[in-house]
């Protein structure tokens, strides 16, 4: 079980949180102008790396707010958590 | 038998106990295992597959053979290791896996048939004929296999749990763990020390030892006493760490009353589950001695050397009169001599090595124990107890048979790397020790003592101190570094299997995994059949898959596999170590989360009335909802017939409180609804309501409900009962992550409002009685509007919405007035035939009108158009999911569409989920020749108003097929049904406004 640093509440147990999939997959600004291929890409395709992954979490049993996390998918090492709208931390930070 | 004056048991405290119905006596401080051996009971179990007689092999948590059923009735617990059960007065245990008894086991016939019970036997044999598995093979195998018996009554004990944060968690209170705990504890570090035994000491209790000139056991007792006085140290005994998870999260189970016996400590939880979060961890979990594989190496009376030493030293128990030891290393050699020092019964040490150290030779000579060098035990003989052994030179001809009544074995040592490995630590194979040692781990963990290859007492203590110093430095304490001692040599000559040394085929069975009855021949067979991966071989042969997880067998098994594949042991590698290290009961895991505490139960304010009036309840999510209100003698069918008739002819009343309610406020609230609902919201006037459908971005229906505009910037959204939390999360997700610029706030108000729905032709009359000050005329209060006013003397918000097609009013009052209002409605409705109804009648009434239920007509693959809600989808504005309605999959023909079905046999209520076929001539059960499914039934009821059964269904191109026949499965028959419009009742919608 992970120990997660909520950007608003601080460190809490993983059981307080829910997972939200890959981060930084923006909803297209004007979906009607997006091609079928690009729309399918948005709907169905997500990265599944072995290693660093930027992903969304929500503190569902706490402040109920969303945030992003940089996590290693094999070691579960958490490199950073940051608020929505903030850029992901650069490598090494 | 007991050795005079030996052991750490309390001879002033004799304890009577029962084993397999025999009354026996032990002493305080005994385990069940030591007490049985003290009574000369060596045959304690039958093996899993061949039902061979088995005795104790070990004295610890790695015991594969001595599984017992402890106690009877609701307290009973199966498959416990006799080596870990502390004896108490009146203890009642029996062997598992024996029929009819351990002494006379009918299933030992399996041993005679063993040439066919080889690896993969089940996979190879029970495949054909098809259909036999379920009826013949499986029941017979289940009866023959399986170990103990699960209790068949509710568990009367309580269990609890504890969450604990600490700077340092130390697992194991042997010499290494104790010395580490002393150092950290004295520095004031918040430390937890966990020990599975009842007292500190580990090997210090099991072998004669000396520390600082005194008895090692005394040192351990003093160390434990000091730790108990330190306020920053928590020392847990009788506690097993069984799991090591991410971010230094460890779990342990503490046995709080097991040593007292069932029912002896009322009010105390039987077990406590500990959840630890530790900044640093030191593992000092010790090591398990390893057997050697030879013929009939599973006979009772054959024990590991350290087990024999433990029984002699800690429990004062001797294993017999004439013992032989079979070793390949100094550790086992020394243990045999230490056993002899107490028990005085060792005749001979058979050592595969040609030479021993002068010191050991001298100790053996002084003790009068002969050494046979360069020799091996090839086969043991005996029935229910070992009687003799055959001894040969390790290479070459020659054999002698020697009578003996017990045999000590030591094939080396396996550090207990399980927890380290669970923590994702890597292992390295040490060729000199012929074992796996902890290598590296990215978690904040140190290893010390025998686990770390520091087997000698002095080096274990020094290693624990050094690990503590490294840990203290990592925690920011200034502390002098300690130099870790070197790995101890065992002067070991690797020997996994005696057969591997011999040219002739040795008789007897050569066991690798005792608990699952896996032999060397099974592993070699798997290898011949082409198994190369250790993970595959494990599963094919079941090596290491029993409840002991192969603590005594895994390394030997993979060494034999490696030998047969001409690979090195590191090339073959280990299987994965997974929690739990030792079995954990469900009771301990469940803790207090049982029965009514396992999940919250949500009840509406009107619940007491429903109970008083005989409602039968249905669980909808966590809610208790009245399913129907039977009157005397009525079943579901009769009650629903009466309730639906009232609804359509006079009036019904339903508790609709559980519908999700979300208060949505802010300047952009209307814009927000425009984006999440498929239809338009900006022009909805204040005081009006609208039905809305929500889709996921893929265009599939997610939820629906009626939303009212309370003011320009405020809406009240209703959701389905089961989706209330999910919809609120969904709204929050979009507001927070995609549209943070929108000024909108959402909050759940489901539990703030109680909702009473008054439904039916007489609804208006009843409302007029309750609220004389409000105008209920159709002109003043039309469909899909709401009004505020005094209802039954209470401030209320009344919605004119309908889920039945009838004239209906949903009265909302603050929840604390819910029961009062409900009673007033019931009273006012009496002269007008008002009948309370439950969810079943609600379902029938809505299905008669073709109204969908989310999760019943929809399943995440259904668009609004598929279920006939195309009218609620805006062509102008954008909303979540709209782009997907122009995808090829949503625009294609051949999608399933919502239809109604009427059976030819009006009494036929089809099973929901039934598949439908178009061609009854082809058997629908044949996967090749059968008619393909063209759809399925989503809702199915009997309707008293239609005087027929009816159903809703999703059928390929269904809207174009009205009037055609389809066939639903009924047992082995097909039942014809006609496709019709999904609106069965009042298709013109005349009833909605009432008749007055």
Worst-scoring range by mean pLDDT, B323-327, B572-576, B953-957, B979-983?
A: B572-576
CA atoms of B286 and B414, how far apart (whole Å): 9
Q: Which of A20, A34, A66 to mutate to test the interface with B (most CBs of B within 10 A)?
A: A66
Give me the pLDDT at residue B100, please.
59
B-contacting residues of A 9-28, CB under 8 Å?
13, 20, 26-28
> Token match 């006037």: residue?
B685
Among B276, B445, B737, the residue to mutate for chain A (most A Cβ within 10 A): B737
CA B243 to each of CA B67, B148, B660, B665, B760: distance values in angstroms, whole numbers, following the listed order: 22, 24, 40, 47, 60
For residues B529-547, average pLDDT:
91
CA distance B697 to chain A (A): 7
Residues of A within 8 A of B442 (CB-CB) are 75, 77
Mutation target to probe the A interface, by most A beta carbons within 10 A, among B246, B426, B735, B738 is B246
Spatial strand order of the sheet with B302-304 comes to B302-304, B406-410, B323-327, B346-351, B370-373
CA of B72, closest CA in chain A: separation in Å? 36
For residue B699, give the chain A residue with the closest CA.
A43
Helix (H, G, I), strand (E, B) or coil at B769: helix
- pLDDT of B440 strictly over 90: yes
Instruction: Judge whether A77 is closer than 8 Å to chain B, CB to CB.
Output: yes
Q: From CA B500, how far away is CA B560, in angstroms rounded?
A: 9
- pLDDT tens digits, B840-849: 999 999 999 9
pLDDT of residue B842: 97
Q: Residue B841 and residue B627: Cα distance in Å, rounded?
A: 8
Per DSSP, helices labelled H in B684-782 are: 724-737, 763-770
| Contact call for B246 and A39, based on CB within 8 A | no
**Using CB atoms, which residue from A31, A64, A66 is nearest to B878?**
A31
pLDDT for the residue numbered B102: 67
Q: Is B55 exposed, middle or buried (0-12, 13-18, 19+ CB in 10 A)?
A: buried
Two structure tokens written together for B249: 């999260």
Residues 6+ apart with CB under 8 A from A73: A49, A50, A51, A52, A53
- The mean predicted confidence, pLDDT, of chain B is 93
CB contact under 8 A, B249 and A1: yes
B736 touches chain A (CB under 8 A): yes
Report the C-alpha gap between B678 and B916 in whole angstroms.
31
Share of chain B above pLDDT 70, in %: 94
Task: Spell B635-650 as b/e; 16+ CB within 10 A means b.
Answer: eeeebbbbbbbbbbeb
Q: Is A72 on the interface with B (CB under 8 A)?
A: no
Cβ pair B883:A85 closer than 8 A? no
Strand pairing class (B323-327; B346-351): parallel
Contact B736 A65 (CB under 8 A): yes
- pLDDT, position B932: 83
Best probe of the A interface among B247, B886, B889, by most A CBs < 10 A, is B247
Q: Determine phi and psi for B930, rounding to 5 degrees.
A: -70, 160
Residue of A nearest to B746 (CA): A64
Token pair, residue B575, equals: 């299987």
* B29 CB burial (10 A radius; 0-12, 13-18, 19+): buried
B737–A76 CB contact, under 8 Å: no
Q: Are B498 and B506 in contact (CB under 8 A)?
A: yes
Nearest CA in chain B to A56: B737
Q: Do A27 and B884 touch (CB under 8 A)?
A: no
The two tokens of residue A86 are: 């903030």
Which residue in chain A is spatially nearest to B880 when comparing CA positions? Answer: A31
* pLDDT score of B695 more than 80: yes
Provide the ipTM: 0.96
φ and ψ at B201, to 5 degrees?
A: 140, -45
In angstroms, the separation between the Cα of residue A42 and the nearest Cα of chain B is 9
A63 Cβ under 8 Å from any chain B Cβ: no
The answer, yes or no, to whether the previous bond of B319 is cis (omega within 30 of 0) is no
In this structure, what token pair is assigned to residue B740?
């943070």
Say yes or no to pLDDT of A93 above 60.
no
* Cβ separation B733–A20 shorter than 8 A: yes
* pLDDT digits 0-9 by tens, A18-73: 999 999 999 999 999 999 999 999 999 999 999 999 999 999 999 999 999 999 99
A39 with B883: Cβ contact below 8 A: yes
Whole-angstrom distance, CA of residue B346 vs CA of residue B405: 10
CA distance B671 to chain A (A): 16
In this prediction, residue B607 carries a pLDDT of 98
Nearest CA of chain B to the CA of A53: how many Å? 17
Q: Enter the tokens of residue B813.
A: 């009052």
> Comparing C-alpha atoms, which of B112, B500, B460 is closest to residue B283?
B460
- How far does B880 lie from chain A, in Å, by closest CA? 9
Which of B883, B886, B890 should we substitute to test contact with A (largest number of A Cβ atoms within 10 Å)?
A: B883
How does DSSP classify residue B486?
P
The answer, for B884 touching chain A at a CB cutoff of 8 Å, is yes
Looking at the complex, report in whole angstroms how far the Cα of residue B191 sits from the nearest Cα belonging to chain A. 20
CA B741, CA B429: separation in Å to the nearest integer? 59
**A39, B887: Cβ pair inside 8 Å?**
yes
Q: How many CB pairs under 8 A join A and B?
A: 55
Q: Which residues on chain A are in Cβ contact (under 8 Å) with B887?
A: 36, 39-40
Provide the 10 A C-beta neighbour count for residue B872.
17
Q: Return the axis-axis angle of helices B520-528 and B554-564, rounded to nearest 10°.
A: 40
Partner-chain contact A2 B729, CB within 8 Å = no
Nearest to B218 by CA among B191, B259, B178, B169: B178
- For A66, the closest of B246, B733, B882 (CB atoms) is B733
B728 to chain A: closest CA residue: A64
In chain A, the residue whose alpha carbon lies closest to the alpha carbon of B444 is A77
Strand duo B287-289 + B271-283: pairing? unpaired
pLDDT digits (tens, 9 = 90+) for B50-79: 889 999 999 999 999 999 999 999 999 999
Q: What's the number of CA atoms in the CB half-sphere (13 Å) around residue B614?
A: 10
- CB–CB contact B249 A42 (8 Å): no
User: Which tens digits make up the pLDDT trace of B383-429?
Assistant: 999 999 999 999 888 999 999 999 999 999 999 999 999 999 999 99
In sequence order, the 6+-apart residues with CB closer than 8 A to the CB of B497 are B292, B293, B294, B510, B520, B556, B560
Q: How large is the average pLDDT for residues B129-157?
A: 70
Comparing B141 with A55, which gets the higher pLDDT? Answer: A55
Q: What is the pLDDT of residue B478?
A: 86
Contact B512, B557 (CB under 8 A): yes
Q: In angstroms, rounded to a whole number, what is the distance separating the alpha carbons of residues B456 and B383?
A: 37
Place B575 in a pLDDT band, splitting at 50, 70 and 90: confident
> What's the confidence (pLDDT) of residue B150?
86
CB atoms within 10 A of CB B124: 10
Mean pLDDT of the region B954-958: 97
pLDDT tens for B717-734 read 999 998 999 999 999 999
Q: How far apart (Å, rounded) are the C-alpha atoms in residues B354 and B580?
A: 41
Query: Which stretches of B501-659 are assigned E, i.e. beta strand?
Result: 511-513, 518-519, 616-620, 623-628, 651-655
Residue B164 forms contact with A (CB below 8 Å): no
The per-residue pLDDT for range B821-831, each reduced to its tens digit, is: 999 999 999 99
> What is the predicted pLDDT for the residue at B141?
58
Q: Which residues of B touch A2 (CB under 8 A)?
A: 246-247
Is pLDDT of B145 > 60? no
Cα–Cα distance between B84 and B80 in angstroms, integer?
A: 8
Measured distance CA(B274)–CA(B250) in Å, rounded: 8
Strand partners, B413: B289
The three-state DSSP-derived secondary structure of B287-345 is EEECCCECECCCCCCEEEHHHHHHHHHCCCECCCCCEEEEECCHHHHHHHHHHHHHHCC
pTM (2 d.p.): 0.90
3-state secondary structure of B112: helix
pLDDT in tens, B191-247: 999 999 999 999 999 999 999 999 999 999 999 999 999 999 999 999 999 999 999
Quick check: B783 contacting A, CB < 8 Å?
Answer: no
Closest approach of B445 to chain A, Cα-based (Å): 15
Q: Among A3, A34, A36, whose Cβ lies nearest the Cβ of B247?
A: A3
Cβ contact B180:B467 at 8 Å:
yes
């Amino acid at each position: 079980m992970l120990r997660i640093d909520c950007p608003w509440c601080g460190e809490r147990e993983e059981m307080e949180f829910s997972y939200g999939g890959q981060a930084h997959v923006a909803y297209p600004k004007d979906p009607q102008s997006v091609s079928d291929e690009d729309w399918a890409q948005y709907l169905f395709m997500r990265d599944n790396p072995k290693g660093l992954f930027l992903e969304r979490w929500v503190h569902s049993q706490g402040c109920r707010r969303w945030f992003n996390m940089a996590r290693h998918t094999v070691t579960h090492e958490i490199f950073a958590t940051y608020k929505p709208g903030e850029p992901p931390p650069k490598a090494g930070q | 038998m007991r050795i005079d004056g030996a052991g750490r048991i309390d001879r002033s405290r004799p304890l009577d106990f029962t084993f397999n119905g025999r009354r026996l006596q032990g002493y305080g401080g005994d385990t069940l295992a030591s007490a049985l051996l003290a009574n000369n009971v060596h045959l304690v179990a039958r093996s899993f597959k061949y039902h061979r007689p088995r005795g104790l092999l070990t004295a610890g948590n790695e015991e594969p053979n001595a599984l017992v059923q402890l106690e009877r009735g609701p307290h009973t617990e199966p498959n416990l290791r006799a080596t870990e059960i502390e004896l108490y007065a009146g203890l009642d245990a029996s062997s598992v896996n024996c029929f009819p008894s351990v002494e006379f086991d009918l299933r030992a016939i399996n041993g005679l048939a063993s040439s066919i019970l080889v690896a993969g036997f089940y996979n190879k044999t029970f495949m054909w004929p098809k259909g036999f598995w379920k009826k013949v093979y499986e029941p017979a195998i289940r009866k023959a296999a399986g170990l103990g018996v699960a209790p068949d009554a509710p568990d009367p004990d309580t269990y609890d749990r504890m969450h604990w944060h600490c700077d340092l968690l130390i697992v194991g209170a042997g010499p290494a763990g104790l010395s580490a705990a002393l150092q950290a504890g004295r520095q004031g570090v918040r430390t937890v020390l966990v020990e599975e035994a009842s007292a500190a000491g580990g090997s210090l209790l099991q072998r004669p030892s000396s520390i600082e000139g005194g008895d090692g056991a005394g040192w351990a007792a003093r160390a434990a006493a000091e730790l108990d006085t330190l306020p920053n140290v928590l020392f847990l005994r009788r506690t097993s760490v069984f799991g090591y998870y991410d971010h230094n999260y460890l779990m342990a189970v503490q046995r709080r009353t097991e040593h007292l016996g069932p029912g002896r400590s009322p009010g105390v939880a039987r077990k406590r589950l500990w959840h630890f979060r530790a900044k640093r961890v030191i593992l000092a979990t010790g090591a398990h001695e390893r057997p050697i594989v030879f013929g009939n190496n599973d006979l009772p009376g054959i024990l590991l050397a350290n087990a024999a030493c433990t029984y002699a030293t800690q429990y004062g128990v001797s294993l017999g009169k004439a013992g032989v030891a079979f070793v390949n290393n100094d550790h086992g050699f020394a243990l045999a001599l230490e056993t002899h020092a107490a028990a005085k019964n060792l005749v001979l040490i058979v050592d595969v090595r040609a030479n021993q150290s002068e010191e050991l030779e001298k100790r053996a000579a002084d003790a009068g124990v002969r050494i046979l060098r360069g020799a091996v035990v090839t086969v043991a003989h005996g029935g229910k107890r070992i009687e003799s052994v055959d001894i040969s030179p390790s290479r070459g001809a020659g054999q002698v048979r020697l009578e003996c009544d017990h045999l000590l074995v030591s094939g080396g040592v396996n550090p207990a790397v399980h927890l380290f490995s669970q923590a994702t630590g890597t292992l390295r194979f040490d060729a000199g020790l012929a074992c796996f040692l902890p290598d590296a781990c990215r978690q904040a963990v140190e290893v010390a003592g025998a686990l770390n290859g520091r087997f000698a007492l002095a080096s274990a203590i020094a290693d624990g101190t050094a690990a503590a110093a490294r840990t203290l430095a990592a925690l920011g304490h200034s502390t002098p570094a300690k130099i870790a001692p070197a790995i101890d040599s065992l002067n070991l000559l690797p020997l996994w299997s005696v057969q591997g040394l011999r040219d002739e085929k040795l008789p007897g069975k050569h066991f690798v995994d005792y608990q699952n009855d896996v032999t060397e021949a099974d592993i070699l067979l798997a290898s011949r059949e082409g198994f190369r991966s250790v993970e595959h071989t494990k599963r094919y042969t079941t090596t290491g898959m029993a409840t002991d997880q192969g603590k005594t067998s895994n390394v030997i098994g993979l060494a034999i596999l490696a030998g047969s594949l001409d690979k090195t042991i590191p090339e073959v590698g280990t299987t994965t170590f997974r929690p739990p290290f030792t079995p954990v009961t469900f009771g301990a895991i469940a803790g207090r989360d049982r029965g009514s505490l396992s999940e919250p139960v949500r009840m509406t304010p009107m619940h007491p009335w429903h109970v008083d009036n005989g409602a039968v309840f249905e669980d909808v999510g966590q809610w208790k909802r009245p399913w129907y209100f039977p009157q005397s003698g009525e079943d579901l069918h009769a009650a629903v017939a009466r309730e639906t008739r009232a609804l359509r002819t006079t009036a019904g009343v339903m508790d609709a409180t559980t519908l999700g309610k979300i208060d949505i406020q802010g300047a952009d609230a209307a814009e927000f609804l425009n984006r999440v609902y498929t239809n338009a919201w900006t022009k909805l006037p204040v005081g009006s309501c609208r039905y809305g459908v929500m889709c996921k971005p893929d265009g599939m229906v997610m939820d629906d409900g009626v939303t009212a505009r309370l003011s320009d910037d405020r809406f009240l959204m209703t959701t389905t009962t089961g989706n209330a939390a999910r919809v609120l999360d969904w709204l929050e997700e979009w507001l927070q992550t995609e549209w943070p610029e929108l000024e909108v706030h959402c909050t759940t108000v489901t539990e703030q409002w109680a909702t009473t729905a008054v439904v039916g032709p007489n609804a208006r009359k009843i409302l007029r009685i309750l609220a004389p000050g409000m105008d209920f005329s159709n002109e003043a209060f039309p469909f899909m509007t709401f009004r505020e006013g005094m209802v039954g003397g209470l401030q209320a918000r009344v919605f004119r919405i309908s889920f039945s097609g009838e004239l209906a009013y949903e009265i909302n009052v603050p929840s604390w007035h819910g029961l009062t209002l409900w009673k007033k409605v019931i009273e006012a409705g009496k002269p007008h035939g008002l009948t309370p109804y439950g969810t079943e009648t609600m379902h029938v009434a809505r299905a008669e009108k073709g109204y969908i239920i989310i999760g019943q007509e929809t399943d995440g693959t259904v668009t609004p158009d598929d279920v006939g809600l195309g009218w609620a989808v805006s062509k102008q504005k954008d909303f979540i999911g709209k782009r997907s309605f122009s995808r090829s999959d949503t625009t294609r023909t051949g999608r399933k569409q919502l239809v109604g079905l009427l059976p030819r046999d009006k009494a036929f209520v089809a099973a929901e989920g039934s598949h439908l076929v178009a061609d009854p001539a082809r058997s629908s059960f044949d996967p090749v020749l059968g008619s393909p499914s063209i759809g399925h039934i989503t809702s199915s009821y009997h309707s008293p108003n239609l005087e027929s059964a009816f159903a809703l269904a999703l059928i390929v191109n269904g809207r174009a097929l009205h009037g055609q026949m389809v066939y639903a499965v009924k047992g082995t028959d097909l039942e014809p049904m006609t496709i019709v419009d999904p609106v069965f009742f009042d298709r013109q919608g005349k009833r909605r406004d009432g008749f007055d």
